[in-house]
């Protein structure tokens, strides 16, 4: 899986602009949480970029970049959780899950539905 590291707060504006052309995935990971590690491993094991086309996945280490995590919650109106996955389309969150509810098939289905519309 080719993560794009989310390390600067101004990348959120880039994500919003990218999401106007194609949906964007953000994965918020806590390096101190075993559930987060489990969710990340499950996602990476199942991720098939060839199924998702041009979808760009962003990775946020929220322990190192807590202010970005807080900005995501504020900007997109989704309460912070960890781990958490969000799908952004046209600058808005269209899907979010946390903890063990993060699973590739639900993400894939949502992403493929955005391509149809």
* Domain, as residue range, for 39: 4-116
Q: What is the DSSP letter of 103?
A: -
Q: Say how many domains are in the chain.
A: 1
The CATH code of the domain that includes 108 is 3.40.30.10
Question: What's the pLDDT at 54?
Answer: 84
| Residue pLDDT, tens place only, 7-59 | 999 999 999 999 999 999 999 999 999 999 999 999 999 999 898 888 999 99
With residue 97 as reference, give the H or E element that holds it. Answer: strand 92-98
Q: Would the pLDDT of 115 be above 70?
A: no
Separation in Å, CA 21 to CA 16, 60, 72, 88, 96: 9, 21, 20, 11, 19
What are the structure tokens assigned to 112, written together?
């493929």
Question: What's the pLDDT at 116?
Answer: 57
| Residue pLDDT, tens place only, 67-86 | 999 999 999 999 888 899 99
CA distance 107 to 34: 21
């Amino acid at each position: 899986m080719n993560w794009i590291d989310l390390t600067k707060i101004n990348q959120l504006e880039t994500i919003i602009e990218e999401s106007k052309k194609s949906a964007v995935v953000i994965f918020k990971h806590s390096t101190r949480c075993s559930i987060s590690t489990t969710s990340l491993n499950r996602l990476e094991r199942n991720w098939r970029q060839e199924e998702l086309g041009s979808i760009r996945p962003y990775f946020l280490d929220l322990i190192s970049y807590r202010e970005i995590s807080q900005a995501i919650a504020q900007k997109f109106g989704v309460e912070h959780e960890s781990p958490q996955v969000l799908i952004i389309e046209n600058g808005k969150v269209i899907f979010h899950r946390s903890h063990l509810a993060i699973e590739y098939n639900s993400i894939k289905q949502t992403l493929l539905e955005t391509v149809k519309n």
